[in-house]
Structure 1
Amino acid sequence: MRALLVANPAATTTSARTRDVLTHALASEMKLEAVTTEYRGHARDLGRKAAHEGVDLVVALGGDGTVNEVVNGLLHEGPDPERLPRLAVVPGGSTNVFARALGLPNDSVEATGALLDALREQRERTVGLGLAAGTPGTEDESVPARWFTFCAGFGFDAGVVGRVEQQRERGKRSTHALYVRQLMRQFWEEPNRRRGTITLERPGADPVTDLVLSIVCNTSPWTYLGNRPLYASPEASFDTALDVLALDRLSTPAVARYATQLLTSTPERGPHGKHAVSLHDLTDFTLHSKVPLPFQMDGDHLGLRTSVRFTGVRRALRVIV
């Protein structure tokens, strides 16, 4: 078996020793090439090269951003799970939502052991993914399509992600406390808290208008606060298309209510109420905004957009579990 290990040296919880242990463990089982990423987008380039060269397995060692880049490289020419390399993930970031949603240990050493066991036992599954692209006929139509593994956000939550990235560029460590602080700052400075600018359109249904927040989920949980899973869309699954949780108001009482519901959410029940919109298993829909809004995918801030078209693609990629 030919395998490629893509390791992000800047991942929050990854050390050189961890990378060495993983490299030696994998090399004892297969023909392995190990590459350390050197620039933003390098993991995507490596994934694309692996797909072209017929590599059997690509192992991503890093956080959700590294995994997202590898996936976009593998699927550069579209989904073809029988032809493309299989993906394996060893978590090395601060949250590791994709790996944990697959049921993998959050510790990199334990995850390495689980990976080796899965390879020996030939355990894998084929997962669905989300695809986001610019909308034809809008100023964003030239934006290239990009895959995401577990979530995307348009509006409020993407603004929080952008603030966190700014803090990290200033040398702050990525922690859950940092996210909470930036969330509060985004809330107090949000100009459209009481009347949103987002409209959701989907075939065969009336538009949903005046949304402030829109979270698109490809799996559940949506994210984690420490070890606590948060279920924005409890029905979301790698086996279905995409789910959406949207809010049309972010007043102080509404935020207190929905934040409490999110913190106490379960696989059976997520945020709900008269200002919440929950949609399940959407294959094709578009989010438009009257003004440019922040956009994020898999926790990576991608700038401002006015329109994004989403597609839920079932059975897009084989993953070692």
Structure 2
Amino acid sequence: MRALLVVNPKATTTGARTRDVLIHALASDLKLEVVNTEYRGHARDAARRAADGGEVELVVALGGDGTVNEVVNGLLHDGPADGLPRLAVVPGGSTNVFARALGLPNDAVEATGVLLDALRESRERTVGLGLVSGTPGTEDEGVPARWFTFCAGLGFDAGVVGRVEQQRVRGKRSTHALYVRQMMRQFMGEQNRRHGTITLSEPGGEPMSDLVLAIVCNTSPWTFFGNRPVYASPEASFDTALDLLALSRLSPAAVARHATQLLRSTPERGPRGKHVTALHDLTDFTLQSQAPLPFQVDGDHLGLRTSATFTGVRRALRVIV
């Protein structure tokens, strides 16, 4: 089988020696080409070339969720189609939400062993993904569409992601303590804790307004706090469309309550209360804000947005598991 391995050499948890071992293991079973990413978007470009060429049957992403997202966007540049290379993931980032949601080990060496076994046994599944694009008739209309594997967010959580990225540019390591600190700083800087600016609109439905944050989930768990899975939308699944968790208040009491609920969340129960909106299996909807808000996709901060249109696409991509 001809395969392309896309490696992020700056991946948080995978050193050069480990990468060499993994490459050797994969090359023993595959006709392997290796690309080491050198710039933002390189993984996307390499995966797109693999999809367009028609000869590569498998693309393996070795890195964190950002690397996986780029590879997915490269593979699906022209949309889902029969004959696209399958995707495999070897986790190398700090959180690895997509890989862990697929049930893969968080250790890169163990995950490589699982991948090789899956290839020998022809184990794969087809997963649904999210697609977000600019909203027609708004200033974001021309923003390129972006696929995402596990989540997107408008408002508070995206602001935290942006703050963490700024700290990483300054040389800070991506740790859970870093996320907690930036979450507190984002909260202290929030201007609209009680009166949100976000409106949710669905075709044929009544708009929901005054939301202060919106998290769109394509799977559950939504993230991990250390080894603890966090379930923002417990019903979210790769087999359905998109789920949404929205809050209409960010007072200190509300933040404390919902943070506790998230940390104690289970596959059966997530955040709840009168300021919580939880929706399941949404195919098409739009989020619009009266003021520009931080926006993130799969943990990648994309700047400020006033609107985003979401589509849940079932059976979008084949993945080795």
Does the TM-score normalized on the shorter chain lie above 0.5? Answer: yes
Residue number in structure 2 paired with 1:86: 86
Deviation of the 1:14 alpha carbon: 1.1
For 2:175, the aligned partner's letter is: T
The secondary structure found in structure 2 opposite 1:253 is: helix
| Alignment map for 1:123-202 (pairs within 5 Å) | 123-202=123-202
Provide, for residues 241-262 of structure 1, a one-character-per-residue CA deviation record: whole Å limited to 9, x for no partner: 0000000000011111111110
Structure 1 unaligned regions, length at least 5: none
Task: Provide Cα deviations, 1:298-318, integer angstroms capped at 9, x if missing partner.
Answer: 000000000000000000000
Q: SS in structure 2 opposite 1:76?
A: coil
Give the whole-Å Cα distance in 1 for the aligned partners of 2:242 and 2:152.
10
Q: CA deviation at 1:178?
A: 0.2
Deviation per CA, 1:147-187, whole angstroms, max 9, x where unpaired?
A: 00000000000000000000000000000100000000001
| Separation in structure 1 between the aligned mates of residue 256 and residue 26 of structure 2, nearest angstrom | 47
Cα distance in 1 for residues equivalent to 2:19 and 2:52: 25
What is the CA distance between 1:280 and its match in structure 2?
A: 0.3
Distance in 2 (CA, whole Å) between partners of 1:296 and 1:284 is 18
Q: How far off its partner does 1:30 sit? A: 1.5
What is the aligned partner in structure 2 of residue 61 from structure 1?
62
Q: Deviations over 1:256-314 (max 9, x none)?
A: 11111100000000000000000000000000000000000000000000000000000
SS of residue matched to 2:266: coil
* Separation in structure 1 between the aligned mates of residue 31 and residue 258 of structure 2, nearest angstrom: 50
Partner of 2:211: 211
Pairing 1:73–2:47 present = no
Please tell me the residue identity of whatever aligns with 1:5: L
**2:232 paired residue number:** 232
Deviations 1:40-69 (A, max 9, x none): 000000010000112100000000000000
C-alpha distance in structure 1 between counterparts of 2:18 and 2:217, whole Å = 31
Residue 47 (1) aligns with residue 47 (2): yes
1:310 corresponds to: 310
Aligned to 1:111: 111
Instruction: Output the CA distance in 1 between the equivalents of 2:186 and 2:30.
Output: 47
SS at match of 2:180: helix
Provide the rounded CA distance (Å) in 1 between the counterparts of 2:22 and 2:14. 11
The Cα of 1:19 is off from its aligned counterpart by: 1.3
Shift of 1:35: 1.0
Please give the secondary structure, in 1, of the residue aligned with 2:161: helix
Q: Which secondary structure does the structure 1 equivalent of 2:219 belong to? A: coil
Alignment of 1:230-269 (within 5 A): 230-269=230-269
Q: Distance in 1 between matches of 2:2 and 2:154?
A: 39
Instruction: Supply the AA of the counterpart residue of 2:59.
Output: V
Q: In the TM superposition, what is the alpha-carbon distance from 1:231 to its structure 2 partner?
A: 0.2
> What one-letter code is carried by the residue in structure 2 that aligns with 1:2?
R
* TM-score, scaled relative to structure 1: 0.99
The separation in 2 between residues aligned to 1:140 and 1:228, in whole angstroms, is 36
State how far apart, in whole Å, the 1-side matches of 2:292 and 2:89 are.
34
Q: What are the Cα deviations for residues 120-170 of structure 1, in whole angstroms up to 9, with x where unaligned?
A: 000000000000000000000000000000000000000000000000000
Residue 297 of structure 2 corresponds to which residue in structure 1? 297
Matching residue's letter, 1:18: T
**Counterpart for residue 25 of structure 2:** 25
Inter-partner Cα distance in structure 2 for 1:235 and 1:204: 23
